[in-house]
Structure 1
Amino acid sequence: MTASIRIRLSLMMFLQYAVWGAWFVPFSTYLVHHGLQAWIGTIYSAQGWAAIAAPLFVGAIADRYFSAEKVMGVLHIASGALLFALSTVDADPALMFAATLGVLLAYMPTIALSNAIAFNAITDVERQFPGIRVFGTIGWIVAGLIVGSLGAERTPIPLYLAGTASLFYGAYAFTLPTVPPRAGGQPVSAGSLLGLDAIREGDRSFWALIACALLMMIPFAFYNVYANAFLDGIGLKAAAAVQTIGQVSEVGFLLLLPLFFRFLGIKGVLLVGMLAWAVRYVLFANGFDANGPITPVLFVALALHGVCFDFVIVAATIWVDKHFPTETRGRAQSFLALVTWGVGYVVGSNAANLVFNATAGAGGQPVWHSFWLVPAGLAGVTAVIFLLIFRDRTRGVASAH
């Protein structure tokens, strides 16, 4: 891989995640200030529905008829236009959900497409891809710092920034290395695209992991949906910028993950990650008082994101990769993504919405202490279930990469 290709792919990843991070992180605060606080979780569930649709679109359309970079260019131009349209929607919850779903239906397939473009262009995936993918996290961080420094969480400015970046990215995508369609003429079914045909090989350990990963997406959604609104609501300045502590932590713990695998094993890593979610939410519940935010407590809670995300979501992906043989590995990963980012996120965001409304005080004002204790309990219970039912029966296929 040449230096020119590396730079072009790195910019691609930077833009891919800068677009998402610029608007999706502060969007809950934006919804609060449009009088839609009772609907935040339901509106955020659009991501889950889009995640379910994405593999169907990529597998049935993009892989079969069009070059990946051209499809991605069209989708990001559409996403940019839809982000500007979203900024015009006011306090109608149904219209806001539909507009948000439109943006995410255009955006979510581009995650897989950007990976496909990178994988096709590089010569050594294990050595070269992490150094390119890390620019996606950097893009997310930079977007958060810009939004936070502008104090723009309550305004449509993040939508304008994301829309502009998406339009630029859409045009740039047409210049990326080409990935011609590869699946033309091959039979296709919804089951195979979602990985349903691969799970017939799943054993007890696989289903235990799937069940616990699904359960963990419920408390995960509480953070993804409500963290920015919470931090802004208790008076933390530049909340979107402060939240990037989590992405910095994510990069650090991702680099340390092989070391933790060696000393704790996969079960230990997953268990620590689940317990970290419980600890994190207890810290959130106690991270403020009548005088405002208690920043050291909140900073620790945010810094736990690397443990929470890498030790659960990334570790589960790695375990599935090692558990299945080469010929079914990709479809098994599709099924894991369907369960977590699709079904789990839909259930979790709607559950968070119910808890938010159930714990609200007078006038619908959030009672954050009670709210955060619910996902803390869910994560703790899931960790106990996982400890009792999961047995690591990873097959000897790790060398089949």
Structure 2
Amino acid sequence: MTELAPDAGFRGNEKLKGALLQHAALSPAGLSERLFGLLFSGLVYAQIWEDPEVDMQAMDLSEGHRIVTIGSGGCNMLAYLSRRPASIDVVDLNPNHIALNRLKLAAFRHLPDHASVRRLLGEQAVRTNARMYDRHIAPNLDAATRRHWEARGVTGRRRISVFNRNIYRTGLLGRFITIGHLIARSHGVRLEELAETRSLREQRMFFDSRVAPLFDKPLIRWLTRRKSSLFGLGIPPQQYDELASLASDGTIAPVLRHRLEKLCCHFLLRDNYFAWQAFLRRYPKAEEGVLPTYLQEQHYHAIRETTDRVTVHHANFTELLARKPAGSVDRYVLLDAQDWMNERQLNDLWTEITRTASEGARVIFRTAAEDSILNGKLAPDLLDQWHYQAERSHALNTQDRSAIYGGFHIYEKRPA
């Protein structure tokens, strides 16, 4: 496999361009795709925005399972290791995500204890994190990943120094959330005040009185009419169109309001670290709430002992599966990648999924809209080989604490 250096941008990333670009360069759609590609070529997600607890329930994940998953921020892959699967292949088209996944794996392998892992990956303003990286992690990284984290930016600081501050405020999504906070403050709303609530009732009152009215403001309605304004959420042009199909007034403000309402009001704040990242831009302290699955002490030893079962690839899903033998994969995690795909790409992907699927294999994914992306797009001869678990998909979607997707979907391979 040919590796791409983590510092390569959109122009040099043929894999990303192949997945994203579907229209002529000078067409409106083509310009949107290329702008999104330029933004997406940097770090997008420091934290994944799909709930791994929901994933593991949907997969009935257990020891012995062989998984292929998209990497993103790496939180899901590490959470899956808590169940001690046989293997995990992680794929991603963004070399910054590749570097982050490898760094997180190395942290579990080489840092001395759970407290060190938690300080590096779960806490902010820890000034010694870069020194801890130098001592324990850097000597054990591959050359490309080490170059990535030790490269210096325009300020002269090494990239790894972001862990001395708060990596979750960086990346495309982290900066988008910061801008969202600034816009809210310009309208007299401090989103951080959600931390002062002590019950679901108080969270609901905060949303109804402080957050919901923001979506009627002219500035926000103007912004949500424009695809490019939401690229910071990692929403590509194709996915924006799916969201816009749910609205009737030319803006996706009502859709975003509904998703933010679920994030703010459907789960106790102390139980929802996704809400902490959105409203507080950090993880909770021990006395404030729960950490992500992979940072909880109870899972530390299982993850540390199984990191060698993970292989991280700079590749797309279809490309990796094409190299695998028939019947060699038990669980597939597609995140929301299919929202990006045209019909040819979908059918190519599911041809390889179907070929490599073991008996009883499962595929899980999310969609911006509520309905499965496969309806009306996947060839009947492929779709007929899979059973859609409609009721369980709907039930688990209501439990997804990240709250940003319209649909969660589970497909199980039918017996031959």
Larger strand percent: 2
Q: Same fold (TM over 0.5)?
A: no
Larger helix percent: 1
TM-score range, shorter chain: under 0.3
TM-score, structure 2 as length reference = 0.27
